[in-house]
Chain A
Amino acid sequence: VSQTTAAPDWLVQGEIGLCPCGCIGKRSRGSFVDKTLKGGAGVMRQAMFGEETSAEAGLLQRLDARVKLVTVLGLLVTAALVRHLQVLVVLYGVTLVLAAASRLKLSFFVKRIWLFIPIFTGLVVLPATLNVVTRGHIVVPLGSWWFGHRVGMTSQGLVAAGIIVTRVAVSISLVVLLTLTTPWNRLMAGLRALFVPRMFIQVLAMAYRYIFYLLAAVEDMFTARKARMVGIEGDTRGGRAFVTASAGALFGKAHALSEEVHLAMLSRGYTGAALTLESFRVGVVELAWTVTCVVLAVVVLGVDRALGH
């Protein structure tokens, strides 16, 4: 191979961190450009996935958005008031049944929650199981290295960790059930049932719409940056300058868009008054669902109180 036809070294070298298994080259934490692009794609994917699942013919999809919003909030409060691990586990079972009845893939539904919880909640509450944080009866002794004191996991600490992890799982499951079974425009209209002022709902709806428009602008900027990059991003300071300048430019774009939208609104006769979707339908299904939720809440809280304080 002659010198003139040889590829330059930087092109031949395997780019570090390109392989998802991470077995070639050095471990790379991924640049901020990749992470932001990935985050944007995640937002897009999640929104589109929600649109898809909310169009299925499942149990929760059939309910009126207002009824669903209010009852799910009620179930959230119920889950928040429960004081026993066993009851929370049963409630988690109920969310699984609801997910199955709403034709959500159970494996996905379980994964979505249990991939997130061990990392965030689990790690955070782990030290709280020790007697150093939560006093009580030591059930798993771990030696005596804390200034000469005995250290171990307490029964109180373990139960508390179990309660918080399960409670977070139940709460997230309920919210995921709500968002995956309700089209976003219906969900926003449903907020009227919670006495949210129309002006807020209008801003919320427009903001939701703009997010995807502006997300495309962010993706363009970051993809352009990535297209011009050779190798990995190493310059933290330069990277920060790029991110902040992009954020500044994004505001300029957003503002120009808001002016255009405002003019478009005026040209269509906008007077400042907001209207929202108000078709309220309460049929047998909604009634049956509401009664079931109320009975469930009463039974759950009753059993919980019966188990003692």
Chain B
Amino acid sequence: VHIPDGYLSPETCGVLGAAMVPAWSAAGRRVRKTVKHRHVPLLAIGAAYAFLVMMLNVPIPDGTTAHAVGAVLIAVILGPWAAVIAVSIALAIQALFFGDGGVLSFGANAFNMAFVMPMVGYYLVYRPLSQRLSLTSPRRAFAAALGGYVGIVAAAACCGIELGLQPALFHRADGTPLYAPYHLAPALSAMLLAHLTLAGGVEFALTFGVIAYLQRANLPMLRINHGAVPETDDDLTRSPVRLKWWYALTPIVAMALASPLGLIYNTGAFGEDNVKTNRNRFLQKNHLAAVPRGLDHYANFWHHALFNGYDFAHDKHPVLGYLLSAFVGAMVISVVLLAVFGVIRLARRTLRPVGA
């Protein structure tokens, strides 16, 4: 996932680097608060460890080997905020002293591998899955490994989006791309294909193996970030399963955050060519000479929509129209959903037998 210099425009590097500054400062503050002035040697060890883990060759079938990043592994052992700093520093050493990865693109690499990867893997996967598990539970190692898998895929997706935006945003007048040449669809799918299969599997194997090893051979290392977690399943006090409803919101929030991408690639959605958007294409595709009268009539029957064609004021402000319709649409759906949930809750409360 390392992006070398020259693949990203300086603007992209600047934006992602600037985005990392608050993350680093928050991470610094949180780590200092939890481990006092022991944080310097602990973080230094974490960074050196991150560097070496990225260097280990993990054997995979067919005799080849591959590297893992290990950001989620470090997040599980030292905590996610410590992982942000440790992996960032490992990346900085790689870039500055060994010419691996870029110096200008350091911000982008840190964002993908030192921020998105440990945060997604830890907070979205590992923590929810391991909340009610004992420290030595095999399912905890599995949760960490799954976190590693999802984390590296998320980092690869970010990397693919960053690379895929380059040709659309930065090109010469004749269309010559100035930086990474692949558009969003091929860049993102190539990154995802490689990481959903090979790199994700390696990350999974490494994270699972190390956590399982620490569980059976060096449990105190897992205590660094899991202070009060009961050691075995017998010590566990079972509490009823509580699935938080907002877990379901995470993919929706992710899609909402990704919606501005549609501004850059405003091609129609797959399979949605209709009479209204592209008349000629519709005729050609269906081998018709003319649009049937009824179809024509009803296709243009409703034209009083607030944002007709995801727009208002006849395409005078296309960007604003797109963003506003995305926002209003998301809000309307949220309000409707919340209303439905409210009704369900009210019904359950009133229908519940007295005294239960």
A247 CB-CB contact with B under 8 Å:
yes
Contacts of B1-44 to chain A: CB distance below 8 A: 4-7, 9-10, 13, 24, 28, 32, 36-38, 40-44
B95 CB-CB contact with A under 8 Å:
yes
Q: Please tell me if the beta carbons of A248 and B40 are within 8 angstroms of each other in the complex.
A: no
Q: How far is A163 from B43 in the complex, measured between Cα atoms in Å? A: 39
| Chain B 203-240 per-residue mask, 1 if CB under 8 angstroms from chain A, else 0 | 00110111111100110010010000000000000000
By a CB distance below 8 angstroms, the chain B residues around A120 are 4
Q: How far is A160 from B92 in the complex, measured between Cα atoms in Å? A: 29
Q: Please tell me if the beta carbons of B6 and A164 are within 8 angstroms of each other in the complex.
A: yes
Among residues of A, the one whose C-beta sits closest to the C-beta of B53 is A247
Offer 16 A-B interface pairs, CB within 8 angstroms, sorted by A: A39-B55, A133-B183, A156-B176, A160-B177, A161-B181, A179-B96, A207-B93, A208-B97, A213-B48, A243-B59, A244-B212, A246-B56, A247-B210, A247-B213, A248-B210, A249-B218
Instruction: Given A207-B93, A261-B41, verify A80-B9 contact (CB < 8 Å).
Output: yes
| Chain A 1-12 per-residue mask, 1 if CB under 8 angstroms from chain B, else 0 | 000000000000
Among residues of B, the one whose C-beta sits closest to the C-beta of A167 is B6
Enumerate chain A interface residues (CB-CB to B < 8 A): 29, 31-32, 35-36, 39-40, 43, 46-47, 50, 73, 76-77, 79-81, 83, 120-121, 125, 128, 133-136, 156-157, 159-161, 163-164, 167-168, 170-172, 175-176, 178-179, 184, 187, 197, 199-200, 202-204, 206-211, 213-215, 218, 233, 236, 239-241, 243-252, 254-255, 257-259, 261-262, 265, 270-272, 274, 308-309
From the candidates A134, A176, A203, name the one contacting B44 in the complex (CB within 8 A): A203
The smallest beta-carbon distance between A68 and chain B, in angstroms, is 12
Q: Please tell me if the beta carbons of B214 and A248 are within 8 angstroms of each other in the complex.
A: yes
The smallest beta-carbon distance between B211 and chain A, in angstroms, is 8
By a CB distance below 8 angstroms, the chain B residues around A214 are 48-49, 52
By a CB distance below 8 angstroms, the chain B residues around A211 are 48, 51-52, 93
In the complex, given contacts A133-B181, A245-B209, A251-B221, what are 7 additional A-B residue pairs having Cβ atoms less than 8 angstroms apart? A32-B65, A46-B98, A76-B5, A76-B104, A77-B104, A243-B59, A246-B56
By a CB distance below 8 angstroms, the chain B residues around A203 are 40, 43-44, 47, 85, 89
Interface SS, A side: helix
By a CB distance below 8 angstroms, the chain B residues around A163 are 176, 178
Q: Please tell me if the beta carbons of A175 and B7 are within 8 angstroms of each other in the complex.
A: no
Q: How far is A35 from B13 in the complex, measured between Cα atoms in Å? A: 32
Question: How many residues of chain B have a CB within 8 Å of chain A?
Answer: 77
B180 CB-CB contact with A under 8 Å:
yes
The smallest beta-carbon distance between B149 and chain A, in angstroms, is 15
The smallest beta-carbon distance between A164 and chain B, in angstroms, is 6
The smallest beta-carbon distance between B320 and chain A, in angstroms, is 27
By a CB distance below 8 angstroms, the chain A residues around B180 are 164
Among residues of B, the one whose C-beta sits closest to the C-beta of A270 is B37
Instruction: Given A210-B44, A233-B59, A309-B173, verify A175-B95 contact (CB < 8 Å).
Output: yes
- The residue among B6, B96, B99 with the most chain A CB atoms within 10 A of its own CB is B6
Q: How far is A308 from B36 in the complex, measured between Cα atoms in Å? A: 56
Contacts of B128-173 to chain A: CB distance below 8 A: 167, 172-173
The smallest beta-carbon distance between A134 and chain B, in angstroms, is 6
Q: Please tell me if the beta carbons of B65 and A35 are within 8 angstroms of each other in the complex.
A: yes
By a CB distance below 8 angstroms, the chain A residues around B6 are 79-80, 121, 164, 167-168, 170-172
Q: How far is A211 from B89 in the complex, measured between Cα atoms in Å? A: 12
Q: Please tell me if the beta carbons of A136 and B218 are within 8 angstroms of each other in the complex.
A: no
Instruction: Given A161-B181, A171-B4, A236-B60, verify A199-B40 contact (CB < 8 Å).
Output: yes
Q: Please tell me if the beta carbons of B37 and A272 are within 8 angstroms of each other in the complex.
A: yes
